[in-house]
Amino acid sequence: MGGVFLSQLRLNLFMHLPYHLRHLEGFGSNPHRCCVVSWGLAVAHIIVLGNEKGGSGKSTTAMHVATALARMGHRVGGLDLDLRQRSFARYIENRRASSEAQHLDIAAPELLELPEIDPSQLGEGENSLDKRLAAAVATLEARCDFIVIDCPGSHTRLSQVAHSLADTLITPMNDSFVDFDLLGRIDTDGTTIKGPSVYSEMVWHARQLRAKAGLTPMDWVVVRNRLGAQEMHNKRKVGRALESLSERIGFRVAPGFSERVIFRELFPSGMTLLDLRELGVDRLNISNLAARNELRDLMRALNLPGVSIDF
Ligand SMILES: Nc1ncnc2c1ncn2[C@@H]1O[C@H](COP(=O)(O)OP(=O)(O)OP(=O)(O)O)[C@@H](O)[C@H]1O
Ligand SMILES: [Mg+2]
């Protein structure tokens, strides 16, 4: 119950700015919240995958993080806020379909669709998308240790609200200054940071909301994805730019994934790098082993509460 209450409470806080501003002051001393904390009741840890740049690896990373946690015995819920594309949802559905077809007993995240809301239930000025997200988080929070939320590669209201809920925000980015441009503006020399960019400003706003509400600070982790074996010069330049931007706008850079065809092949089966044995691969080749190590290093770097990496 405590978890459900807190999730409703924190969603209420973020849903409507006027409401939010009216209630911020009282949040820290809210008796229900204090009970939740002092009784040590578990509150699901929310992991959000976000980047307004499309195709940066959010859904692929969401599935790998969610599955890794589920395989390690944690209860994981999954929400896909890209209501049209549904790549993360489709990935989880594919996993269920292939484990049923092949009679595999493998751990999986629990996928939840945003429930439909009867418009007559909406209060004045209430947004139906907000309410649907609130209901889904409350449902999952009651039965999960982690909720993994995958956002679309564009700026939407659902994505904005989800960012405010993130205990951990993972931002995968392709190793390119085109992707970097969504995080920070850089001078023509490719080295001097001029300032934060639109996406960073949205994250900053989400952080402000959390701070005012007395929630724990968000841990923002940028993950470099699809790193090439060559292009050392570009890799170093992007790396250096990220380091200086991270100090300015407050994120960590975690080890990411190299460019590997395996990431593109696994989607139809719903499997991840950790399930290759179940797929009948007895001996992992060097590339698969390296990819698995990359996932392990990322999971370690995320430093999620109550998680000790055992793969
Ligand atoms: N490390 C990788 N190596 C090779 N291909 C990858 C890697 N990571 C992701 N991909 C591929 O890149 C494409 C985009 O990945 P994904 O769908 O996860 O990105 P996304 O950020 O969720 O995209 P969108 O913004 O459209 O939701 C997919 O075809 C995926 O298979
Ligand atoms: Mg996606």
Structure tokens that stand for 83 in this block: 């209501």
High-pLDDT (> 70) share of the chain, %: 86
pLDDT of residue 230: 76
Evaluate: CB of 91 within 6 angstroms of ligand 1: no
Evaluate: CB of 263 within 6 angstroms of ligand 1: yes
Atom of ligand 1 nearest to the CA of 154: 25
The answer on pLDDT for 199 being more than 60 is yes
Distance from the Cα of residue 175 to its chain's centroid: 19
Evaluate: CB of 84 within 6 angstroms of ligand 1: no
The answer on pLDDT for 198 being more than 90 is yes
pLDDT of residue 232: 80
Evaluate: CB of 257 within 6 angstroms of ligand 1: yes
Evaluate: CB of 59 within 6 angstroms of ligand 1: yes
Q: Which of 51, 56, 60 to mutate to test the pocket of ligand 1 (most atoms within 8 A of CB)?
A: 60
Strands 184-186 and 193-196: antiparallel
Mean pLDDT is lowest, of 24-28, 289-293, 302-306, for: 24-28
pLDDT of residue 30: 37
* C-alpha to C-alpha distance for 285 and 204, rounded to whole angstroms: 42
Let me know the angle formed at the C-alpha of 151 by 150 and 154, rounded to the nearest 5 degrees: 155
pLDDT of residue 9: 54
CA of 60 to the centre of ligand 1 (A): 6
Contact indicator for 149, 159 with CB cutoff of 8 Å: no
Evaluate: CB of 256 within 6 angstroms of ligand 1: no
* C-alpha to C-alpha distance for 245 and 185, rounded to whole angstroms: 9
Q: Which of 48, 53, 59, 171 to mutate to test the pocket of ligand 1 (most atoms within 8 A of CB)?
A: 59
* C-alpha to C-alpha distance for 311 and 301, rounded to whole angstroms: 14
Per-residue pLDDT of 10-53, as tens digits, reads: 655 555 433 333 333 332 333 333 333 334 445 899 999 999 99
CA of 53 to the centre of ligand 1 (A): 11
Domain 2-302, what fold? Rossmann fold (3.40.50)
The answer on pLDDT for 189 being more than 90 is no
CA distances from 281 to 66, 152, 273, 276 (A): 22, 33, 11, 5
The residue nearest atom 14 of ligand 1, judged by CA position, is 55
CA of 173 to the centre of ligand 1 (A): 10
* C-alpha to C-alpha distance for 195 and 203, rounded to whole angstroms: 14
pLDDT of residue 42: 54
The residue nearest atom 6 of ligand 1, judged by CA position, is 263
Mean pLDDT within 96-119: 95
Angle separating helix axes 58-71 and 286-302, nearest 10 degrees: 80
Per-residue pLDDT of 49-92, as tens digits, reads: 999 999 999 999 999 999 999 999 999 999 999 999 999 999 99
> Can you name the residues that pair with 254 across neighbouring β-strands?
223
Evaluate: CB of 87 within 6 angstroms of ligand 1: yes
Per-residue pLDDT of 236-272, as tens digits, reads: 999 999 999 999 999 999 989 999 999 999 999 999 9
